[in-house]
Amino acid sequence: MDNYILGLSAFYHDSSACLIKAGEIVAAAAEERFSRKKHDPDFPVSAVKYCLEEAGIELADVEKVVFYEKPFITFERIFETYLTYAPFGYTSFATSFPVWAKEKIFMKSRILDELSRLGNLSKEKINLNFSAHHLSHAAGAFYPSPFESAAVVCMDGVGEWATTTIWHGKGEKLNIKKQINFPHSIGLLYSAFTYFCGFKVNDGEYKLMGLAPYGDPVYADLIKDKLISIREDGSYEMDMSYFEYTTGLRMTNSKFSKLFGGPPRKAESEITQREMDLAASVQKVTEEIILLIAKYAKKITGENHLCLSGGVALNCVANGKLVQEKVFEDLWIQPAASDAGSALGCALAAHYSEDSSKRLVNKSDSMKGCYLGPGYSESEIKEVLDEAGASYRVVTPDQLIEEISTLIIQDKVIGWFSGRSEFGPRALGNRSILGNALSPELQRTINLKIKYRESFRPFAPAMLEKETGEYFNHVKKSPYMLLVDEVKSEHLNSLSGEEKNLKGLDRLKVARSSLPAITHVNNTARIQSVTNDSNPDFFKLISAVKSKTGKGVLINTSFNVRSEPIVNSPKDALNCFMNTEMDYLVLENIILKKEEQNVNNKQEDMAEKPLRMNVKELLIFWFKVYVFIQILSYVTLPFFGFKRTIYPALLALIPFLFAVTLSPFLSAITIPFKKGLKVIEGGINKVFLGIIFYLILTPYSFLMKLFIKKKKSHGNSCWEDGQELLVNKRLF
């Protein structure tokens, strides 16, 4: 038997699917790449279809389907949180509880419905399993790693309960050692500052990290004094009186604003020195915590290797500090470390839960360079280009490398589309925008005229792996662009006194090294090291640039514009190329020059179609009308008497009873009233939810606080024993 296992991540953010065969990764992709909705949370229909097509199988051939977390335990955490904070938190309760009650409590049924439709199968034939959230992260970090055994640290916003966990991986076994639970979360602390600095949570954290070098960590001590208490073993406890994410719809509250001298920055408004200093401060505190956790993980596991996963593991600046401090001999980070990679992790966790499964360790790693998405043939690409009326040339592989390397050193900006797309948030040379790392102006040009994003955002160097030691102090290998390091002093430029004293975004004007386009304002860069084994075509291109300039380094940034996912298909690439100021587009061995294009690039007609309501929608609508009038009649009964109130209620039954036979007519007259009904329905829901929250939850909360003893302080540590999860059999 082939032992196919399908892993799924969905319904929060970065929905994804991954297919493994006997423990080997076959395919993996995020739904956003197909839907073109950034961080798409919907069920990954297209990603699942792609994975099955890549393997040449149907859903019926899949032995197990695994979901990346346990919804019931997540609901338990949310419900307990409301109990803990009641009578505060009604707004959040009224927003999230209906969604949980309607959809997420019945997650298993919803997933089975989606899969049943997708595979044309009965639900009974689908073997659906659920993995714990942090187990999915840990398995995705350890099992593909190049280590026989390792300490594993997972840090994110929150899973079911856990926000930070330490694991010990050895062979096929992965055991949890310690954990920190919600609401205390290093990920949510960082997201709180992301929100406060005017960026979007679960999307703008990397912007905050990129902004940090422009500021000074003047608030770091204040953060540690007021917001978070850090212990020597890396555990921590947050003062929740400054945060609103447990009870409200925002990350921070007025007390937080008062502490930092004013309200949160409004999105898209000017970035001030305060935001830069806040970014620098929370980055410094985060690095301190991560370093302490790593040291503690080494102490309790005795391992010399470390694996990282969870959204915080994408903080490549902190990862670089771990390398610099040499806490471990070697470090490996899951390249799709956020919830997207959990689709892979939960599938691997299911595979290695079987006693018969034996792990074969790949000394590089088992991620296949992260090139796990769809690829396209020359004929498929030509079909797209011909349909659009594009002008293009087909060249040989050698001609392509020679021509594009020449264009790059002429400061031309290249859209590079090659091979299978990358899994995870980084473009690694298959869906990339490329440029000349030696150009002092290109960072600003690409940011403002091509990516349409903030000018302060840095670019990564893609470079020959054998040359990383020549340019950087500590990092020797970084295939997934997850490590930041300092440029060696001999490559730095001498700055004048005036240049050294520049503040804020004015620091962008200074060329700081012999590789100015990829050197950030603090003389660092986020490195991607490239080998012939990892990506032969990309390696040849960088080598050709080296032969012409003496430096085997390129600008490599993701092939997309601001607020859009990385391109996935030839059509995506052509659209992005035509709507930006890129100079050339490469699709495999096909070259397009912008000046030669007269492409029909109109978007599909999205004109609204006439609205129609099906029978089910009509029945639900008119039943709600009937219920509303009945409630109104009972309320007004003492004032108007029985006859004046019962007749309207009976009349309301007529359209409900005739909804089936008169559906076209009723559909036409119903739609104009839907908006008004939503307002009425919202009012009814608020009354209903208010009764639940204030008359049921709140009294129970008071009783709980009176009679249930609060957990005692952990003394010098905030870690909890992770083995409790194993005892309760709540991991898998």
Per-residue model confidence as pLDDT tens digits over 214-262: 999 999 999 999 999 999 999 999 999 999 999 888 999 999 999 999 9
Phi/psi at 317 (5° precision): -70, -45
Residue 648 has what pLDDT? 58
pLDDT-derived band at 421, boundaries 50, 70, 90: very high
* Token pair 């990383």 in the structure block, residue: 468
Say whether pLDDT at 644 is over 80: no
Residue 607 has what pLDDT? 40
Q: Provide the β-strand partners of residue 66.
A: 7, 129
Beta strands in 498-547 (DSSP E): 524-530
Q: What is the mean pLDDT of residues 624-629?
A: 64
What is the number of other CB atoms lying within 10 angstroms of the CB of residue 295? 16
Reported residue count of the chain is: 732
Q: What is the mean pLDDT of residues 274-292?
A: 98
Residue 696 has what pLDDT? 79
Residue 92 has what pLDDT? 81
Q: Are strands 228-230 and 236-238 parallel, antiparallel or unpaired?
A: antiparallel
Task: Of 200, 198, 290, 275, give the one whose Cα is nearest residue 236.
Answer: 290
pLDDT-derived band at 664, boundaries 50, 70, 90: low
Can the peptide bond before residue 98 be classed as cis, meaning omega within 30 degrees of 0?
Answer: no
- Burial (CB < 10 A; 0-12, 13-18, 19+), residue 518, is buried
Which are the contacts of 699, defined by CB distance < 8 A and separation ≥ 6?
Answer: none
Q: Alpha helices, DSSP H only, in 86-177?
A: 90-99, 107-119, 133-142
Q: Are strands 62-67 and 4-9 parallel, antiparallel or unpaired?
A: parallel
Share of the chain above pLDDT 90, in %: 68
- DSSP one-letter code for 493: P
For the CA atoms of 445, 449, 450, 454, the dihedral, rounded to the nearest 10 degrees, stands at: 80
Alpha-carbon Rg for the chain, nearest whole angstrom, is 28
Task: Of 249, 245, 57, 284, give the one whose Cα is nearest residue 163.
Answer: 245
Q: What is the mean pLDDT of residues 312-328?
A: 96
CA distance 277 to 350: 44
Residue 606 has what pLDDT? 38
Identify the structural domains of the chain with CATH numbers, from first to last: 4-131 (3.30.420.40), 378-596 (3.90.870.20), 615-707 (no CATH)
Say whether pLDDT at 618 is over 90: no
Q: What is the mean pLDDT of residues 294-311?
A: 98
CA distance 127 to 123: 9
Mean pLDDT is lowest, of 152-161, 443-452, 488-497, for 443-452
Tell me which H or E stretch contains 17: strand 16-21
Reported as a single tens digit per residue, the pLDDT across 560-616 is 998 899 999 999 999 999 999 999 999 999 999 999 998 766 544 434 444 455 556
Tell me which H or E stretch contains 67: strand 62-67
Say whether pLDDT at 674 is over 70: no
Buried b (16+ CB within 10 A) or exposed e, 299-335: eebebebbbbbbbbbbbbbbbbbbbbeebbeebbbbb
Q: What is the mean pLDDT of residues 457-484?
A: 94
Residue 143 has what pLDDT? 98
The answer to whether 168 and 151 are in contact (CB under 8 A) is yes
Task: Of 322, 279, 76, give the one whose Cα is nearest residue 181.
Answer: 76
Say whether pLDDT at 729 is over 50: no
Mean pLDDT is lowest, of 79-93, 380-394, 662-676, for 662-676
Say whether pLDDT at 132 is over 80: yes
Reported as a single tens digit per residue, the pLDDT across 15-61 is 999 999 999 999 999 999 999 999 999 999 999 999 999 999 999 99
Q: What is the mean pLDDT of residues 516-522?
A: 92
Question: Rounded mean pLDDT of the chain?
Answer: 88
Higher pLDDT, 303 or 444: 303
The answer to whether 333 and 141 are in contact (CB under 8 A) is yes
Residue 510 has what pLDDT? 85
pLDDT-derived band at 324, boundaries 50, 70, 90: very high
Residue 652 has what pLDDT? 56
What is the number of other CB atoms lying within 10 angstroms of the CB of residue 530? 29
CA distance 73 to 79: 10
Say whether pLDDT at 201 is over 90: yes
What is the number of other CB atoms lying within 10 angstroms of the CB of residue 711? 7
CA distance 389 to 601: 9
Residue 699 has what pLDDT? 84
* Best-predicted range by mean pLDDT (77-91, 512-526, 696-710): 512-526
Can the peptide bond before residue 87 be classed as cis, meaning omega within 30 degrees of 0?
Answer: yes
The answer to whether 4 and 19 are in contact (CB under 8 A) is yes
Residue 610 has what pLDDT? 46
Q: For residue 430, which amino acid is it? A: N
CA distance 421 to 566: 9
Q: What is the mean pLDDT of residues 359-384?
A: 96
Task: Of 633, 467, 651, give the one whose Cα is nearest residue 552.
Answer: 467
The answer to whether 123 and 723 are in contact (CB under 8 A) is no
* Token pair 């999307």 in the structure block, residue: 203
Residue 405 has what pLDDT? 98
Residue 608 has what pLDDT? 43
Which are the contacts of 620, defined by CB distance < 8 A and separation ≥ 6?
Answer: none
- DSSP one-letter code for 472: B
- Token pair, residue 94, equals 């009224």
Say whether pLDDT at 639 is over 60: no
Task: Of 236, 337, 227, 226, give the one whose Cα is nearest residue 288.
Answer: 236
Phi/psi at 248 (5° precision): -130, -170
Residue 633 has what pLDDT? 61
Say whether pLDDT at 685 is over 80: no
Higher pLDDT, 612 or 448: 448
Residue 715 has what pLDDT? 67
Say whether pLDDT at 493 is over 50: yes
CA distance 231 to 223: 14
Say whether pLDDT at 726 is over 50: no
CA distance 285 to 276: 15
Q: Alpha helices, DSSP H only, in 5-89?
A: 32-35, 45-55, 71-85
CA distance 17 to 717: 37
Phi/psi at 7 (5° precision): -100, 140
pLDDT-derived band at 14, boundaries 50, 70, 90: very high
Which are the contacts of 468, defined by CB distance < 8 A and separation ≥ 6?
Answer: 475, 476, 477, 478, 527, 529
Say whether pLDDT at 117 is over 70: yes
The answer to whether 501 and 450 are in contact (CB under 8 A) is no
Which are the contacts of 348, defined by CB distance < 8 A and separation ≥ 6?
Answer: 7, 20, 23, 139, 140, 143, 144
Say whether pLDDT at 689 is over 80: no
pLDDT-derived band at 361, boundaries 50, 70, 90: very high
Q: What is the mean pLDDT of residues 165-183?
A: 96
Q: Are strands 584-587 and 149-155 parallel, antiparallel or unpaired?
A: unpaired
Q: Compute the half-sphere exposure of residue 145: CA atoms within 13 Å on the CB side of its CA.
A: 30
The answer to whether 461 and 524 are in contact (CB under 8 A) is no
Give CA separation, 281 vs 75, 189, 518, 606, in Å.
33, 12, 23, 45
